Amino acid sequence: MSRQQFAFAIGFAVVAVWAAAGFGAAVAAVLAGVAGFMIARVLDGQVDVGELMDRIGARSHRSPR
């Protein structure tokens, strides 16, 4: 399956959920998919959680302008 076909299938699925169950369900489905994607990347070692937390922490400790 090409990237374009996969993107079409995902877009179609989101619209189908939206049509069948409403906007809130479609948003929840997309958020669950993004969360699953990120968890898979962490488990595969493609995302360093420690580095990500350091970056987030550095942003919150910056002095306001």
- The Cα 32–Cα 26 span in angstroms is 10
Model confidence at 61, pLDDT cuts 50, 70, 90, reads low
Q: 44 in helix, strand or coil?
A: coil
Read off the pLDDT of residues 5-54 as tens digits, 9 standing for 90 and up: 999 999 999 999 999 999 999 999 999 999 999 999 999 999 888 888 88
Query: Domain spans of the chain?
Result: 3-60
CB neighbour burial string for 18-56, b if at least 16 within 10 angstroms, e if fewer: beeeeeeebeebeeeeeeeeeeeeeeeeeeeeeeeeeee
